[in-house]
A = this chain, B = another copy of it.
Amino acid sequence: MKGYSIPRTETGLSSLVPSPPWHYVGDFLVVDYWADPDAVRSILPEGLEPHEDTGRCAAVFADWQSCSETGDELLDPVRSHYKEFFIVANAMLGEEEVTTCPFIWVDQDFALVRGWIQGFPKKLGEVWMTRTYGLGGPADPGLRAGARHGATCSARGREIADMTLTIDGVSEDGPKHNAPPIVNVRHFPRLAAGRHDEPQVHELVRAVSRDRIASTVYEGEATLNIHEARGEEHHLLAPVEVGRGYRFTFAYTVDDLETVKELT
């Protein structure tokens, strides 16, 4: 039986998640912001300590195209396109500044499960993000000063978050709050009676990537709303202060993950 994930067969062709490496390219809208420090403390997994600037967070929208080594998915874009929204909070792993992702929504099944494999707690959502076409005209905002971009995320028909960016120029450094390496929790529950509280997989993991390419980053004034929604708790991390917004394109490859610590 072959296949990186279930369903597995003699060929492995129908695996929901194809074998790594996974190549990605995507457009990003990011807003650096601050949430309530107590709320950030409440979502830090075991093994991470609060950052000195405890409330530091970033809200991220990404409009992705991804593929496996063959690149076949690029010709069948229902298997390569997905959009997602997530929040990262800043934290410390020992002496090291890191980020961690407590909440994330994505619009495709392969990306949802690929996220769980990497420790991203993905749920399905609907994500929309303004595009540029490099052509001009009144429907193409472009990336010039004054250009306005927006993004929204909903899940189960409820608003999760929205942001806007009004570009004022090129950014020297890009977003700061999502810059540190990301450390997440890989988790897979048990169903055996009496053991529902003993997950079979439960470990702190650090993302590993390679072949990173980044475009020019544009920045400007931003708005960010994080909405309360029935059945969701990301509203804990609603902004108490909003920083700058950023727009850029980014590519990388993932085929590794480092286990930092087994959690019990």
- By a beta-carbon cutoff of 8 Å, the part of chain A in contact with chain B is 1, 4-11, 13-14, 16-17, 19-20, 23-27, 42-43, 45-46, 65-67, 71, 74-81, 102-104, 108-109, 112-113, 116-118, 121, 123-124, 126, 128-131, 133-141, 148-154, 156-159, 164, 185, 187-193, 196, 200-201, 208, 211, 213, 215, 230-234, 236, 249-259
* Inter-subunit contact B66/A256 (CB<8 Å): no
* Inter-subunit contact A27/B249 (CB<8 Å): no
Query: Please, which residue of chain B has its CB at the minimum distance from the CB of A71?
Result: B138
Query: Please, which residue of chain B has its CB at the minimum distance from the CB of A254?
Result: B191
* Inter-subunit contact B191/A133 (CB<8 Å): no
* Inter-subunit contact A257/B130 (CB<8 Å): no
When distances are taken between beta carbons in the complex, the residues of chain B under 8 Å from A234 are 14
In the complex where A25-B133, A128-B81, A164-B75 touch, is A140 in contact with B7 (Cβ < 8 A)? no
In the complex where A7-B102, A7-B103, A65-B131 touch, is A13 in contact with B116 (Cβ < 8 A)? no
CB distance from A43 to the nearest CB of B (A): 6
When distances are taken between beta carbons in the complex, the residues of chain B under 8 Å from A124 are 108-109
Question: Could you say which of B81, B139, B159, B215 contacts A65, with CB atoms under 8 Å apart?
Answer: B139
* Inter-subunit contact A251/B188 (CB<8 Å): no
Query: Please, which residue of chain B has its CB at the minimum distance from the CB of A215?
Result: B135
* Inter-subunit contact A139/B200 (CB<8 Å): no
State the oligomeric state as a number of copies: 4
Interface secondary structure of A, over-half rule:
mixed
When distances are taken between beta carbons in the complex, the residues of chain B under 8 Å from A128 are 76-78, 81, 157
Question: Could you say which of B11, B109, B112, B130 contacts A77, with CB atoms under 8 Å apart?
Answer: B130
Q: A24 to B230, alpha carbons, bound, how many Å?
A: 22
* Inter-subunit contact A137/B251 (CB<8 Å): yes
* Inter-subunit contact B157/A152 (CB<8 Å): yes
Q: A77 to B159, alpha carbons, bound, how many Å?
A: 14
* Inter-subunit contact B196/A19 (CB<8 Å): yes
* Inter-subunit contact B77/A251 (CB<8 Å): no
* Inter-subunit contact A133/B65 (CB<8 Å): yes
For A134, A140, A211, the residue with the greatest tally of chain B CB atoms inside 10 Å of its CB is A140
When distances are taken between beta carbons in the complex, the residues of chain B under 8 Å from A192 are 256-259
When distances are taken between beta carbons in the complex, the residues of chain B under 8 Å from A236 are 9
